Amino acid sequence: MFHIAICDSNPQILTQLTDNILKLPNPSDVLSIHTFLGEQTLLRDCRQGCCYNLVLLGPFQQDHRNLALARKIRSFDPQMPISLISNSFQDSLAGYEVPLYRCYPHPFPPRILHRDLQELIRKRRNSCYTFVFSNWQGLHRFPLKDVIYFKALGSRIQVVTALGNYEYRETLGGLEKQLGRFNFMRIHRSYVLNLQWVRNVWGREVTLLNGSVLPLSKHRSRELRESLKRQNIE
């Protein structure tokens, strides 16, 4: 089941957004919609660790209120997809810093949301996979979504995860082939990166959601940017 949280200060807009989503053709998963009239209950849920597959923030009546709410939600969860509806160019630009999954124009475009939902559902299915490796400390299993990147260290590989770092024997070329279909990409001769963790790409550097900055090879820059755009991350 795919859980969507919709929040706005206007009950009519909440109803309209809910109806538009329920009318979308042939979603590839069962949709469960949670509506919030105002931000307090949604913030409480996020503060308590409730994780939605998508948070959609309506236009609200006060300027930039939905952007401020997106920032608050992001402080509780660095990866939960957050989209908002706004015609403000300022909101759209600021969304790269939050970061937002998508900034939709108002009135709301159901066709674009349908495409985004299908992509999010596909990513969620991929995140259910685990990555398994062994070293002198034993056998390790991690959800792929928690694996941030791999770094070459001579004859060993460093696995950087949300829960800690590990080393084992492997090649980056082997990892690149093994994990390419799961949204991992080789961005440098020494790094294979989980694109879900990208916050920003600038010049020859990639900034991650955890604040880490990785080098980006010149010949990989265009491919990375195109991949991010296709997946609505950038």
- The distance between the two most distant Cα atoms of the chain, rounded to a whole number of Å, is 60
- Hey, which CATH number is domain 129-230, 3.40.1160.10, 3.40.50.970, 3.40.50.11400, 2.40.50.1020? 2.40.50.1020
List phi, psi (to 5°) of 180. Answer: -55, -40
Domains 2-126 and 129-230 share a fold: no
Can you list the alpha helix ranges (DSSP code H) found in 128-217? 172-179
Q: Hey, what are 5's tokens?
A: 């949280």
- Sorted by sequence, the CB contacts under 8 Å of residue 173 that are 6+ apart come out as none
Q: Domain map of the chain by residue range?
A: 2-126, 129-230
Residue 233's pLDDT is: 44
pLDDT tens-digit profile of 84-108? 998 888 888 888 888 899 999 888 7
Q: Hey, what are 213's tokens?
A: 């900055």
Can you identify the CATH homologous superfamily of domain 2-126?
A: Response regulator (3.40.50.2300)
Q: Which segments of the chain have a pLDDT < 50?
A: 233-234
List phi, psi (to 5°) of 52. Answer: -95, 155
Strand ranges inside 126-177, DSSP E: 130-135, 138-143, 147-153, 156-161, 164-168
- Comparing CA positions, the residue from 87, 113, 114, 88 lying closest to residue 102 is 113
Residue 69's pLDDT is: 93
How are strands ordered across the β-sheet holding 198-202? 198-202, 205-208, 213-215
Long-range contacts of 187-191 (CB under 8 A, 24+ apart): 187/214, 187/215, 187/216, 187/217, 187/220, 187/224, 188/214, 188/215, 188/216, 188/217, 188/220, 189/152, 189/217, 190/151, 190/152, 190/215, 191/149, 191/150, 191/151, 191/152, 191/215
Q: Hey, what are 92's tokens?
A: 């759209």
Residue 232's pLDDT is: 54
Q: Hey, what are 212's tokens?
A: 């880490």
Please give the Cα distance from 145 to 148 (Å, whole number): 8
> Is 82 in contact with 102 (CB distance < 8 Å)?
no
pLDDT tens-digit profile of 210-228? 999 999 999 998 899 888 8
Q: Hey, what are 232's tokens?
A: 């609505």
